[in-house]
Amino acid sequence: TIIDRFEVQAERRGEHLALVGPTAALTFAEVDDQAGRAAGSLLGLVGSGSEPVALLFDHDVHLVVAILATMKAGRPVVVLDP
């Protein structure tokens, strides 16, 4: 899966930059950590299921983290363009 592939890269290249945006730059390890914590929060809020999660973010590193988090939580993702 995409998540499995990303986690392999996070293990291999943890301290390398993964995302650079206008407001933040994150390493692979930071992205994986933030996505994992956000996935846990998402599951705590809405539980598991098959309903899609809509995301509305500016185009920045936080959007990518939110997409990965939603996928880690096992939910379909719908990205809305602001």
pLDDT in tens, the chain (82 residues): 999 999 999 999 999 999 999 999 999 999 999 999 999 999 999 888 889 999 999 889 999 999 999 999 999 999 998 7
* Residue owning tokens 């705590």: 44
Residues 1/46, Cβ–Cβ less than 8 Å: no
Residues 56-70 have pLDDT tens digits of: 998 899 999 999 999
pLDDT at 49: 83
Query: What pLDDT sits at residue 60?
Result: 93
Q: Name the residue among 75, 79, 80 with its Cα closest to residue 38.
A: 75
